[in-house]
Amino acid sequence: MKQSRWKGLSVAILMGVSAPLYAGDYDISLDGLAGVQDDFLKLSEDLGAALSYKALAPVEPLGSLGFDIGIEMSSSAVANSDVWKKVTGEDISNLPVPRVHLHKGLPLNVDIAASYATIPASDITLFAWELRYAFMEGNIALPAVAIRYTQSNLSGVEQLSFSTRGVELGISKGFAMATPYAGVGQIWVDSGASIAALKDESFSMRKLFVGLNFNLGLMNLAVEGDKTGEVTSYGGKISFRF
């Protein structure tokens, strides 16, 4: 019951925040690819960049009592709009993804986080999570440096099984209320089609990201730019961070 209530609340929040941004239909049908394997690979690359985990946060540990709870939105400029036309029937140039995000600090400079997304103009839902270890926690003089493992899983598209895994190395340094951060990583994508005309695809993409976090007491704002493969994404988050 609690899980159902949480999911219902998440859907309501995300639809309320993001509904005005959706002008097209993002329902995906692989029948439109007519068995063209290269198009399925291009679609998978765009999805991998847009739906892989995005932290929208600096890398210093929150500490065992720390929480960050918020809502966020990322928008990814797809590299293969012609393929999206085939699978959705729409002229799509950007894929917006709204999320509810929960981040919890643990002892020993370890943090965990998870996000849930649902795209109102489609059947797509997405669950993603991270496990992070800051081997340099940072201080007044030194930056924080951390390694992060991430994973995301798509559901809701009958003809598609899709997931990503990632490893990232990030750095951040606080200056008063502002904390810039940046990092590099590698994303592995597993994309499977349930129709006989298409074969599964597994591949990896390099990821670069840079962001800026503003802490305003309990209120927290973050903006981030991300390039994964050939796709550029921009995101923003508002949260309560303590």
Q: Of residues 2 and 141, which shows the higher confidence score?
A: 141
Considering the chain, what is the average pLDDT of its residues? 90
Give the Å distances, CA to CA, from 218 to 3, 14, 67, 229, 235.
26, 21, 10, 35, 20
- Residue 42 CA to residue 25 CA, distance in Å, equals 19
Give the whole-number percent of the chain exceeding pLDDT 90.
80
**Computed from CA positions of residues 89, 90, 91, 95, in that sequence, does the dihedral angle turn out positive or negative?**
negative
Q: What is the DSSP letter of 25?
A: -
Write down the pTM of the prediction. Answer: 0.88
Domains contained in the chain, CATH given = 2-241 (2.40.128)
Confidence of residue 24 (pLDDT cuts 50, 70, 90): low
**Tens digits of residue pLDDT in 30-66:** 998 988 999 999 999 999 999 999 999 999 999 999 9
pLDDT of 6: 40
The kind and range of the H/E element at 240 are: strand 231-241
Condensed to tens digits (0 to 9), the pLDDT of residues 107-142 reads 999 999 999 998 877 889 999 999 999 999 999 899
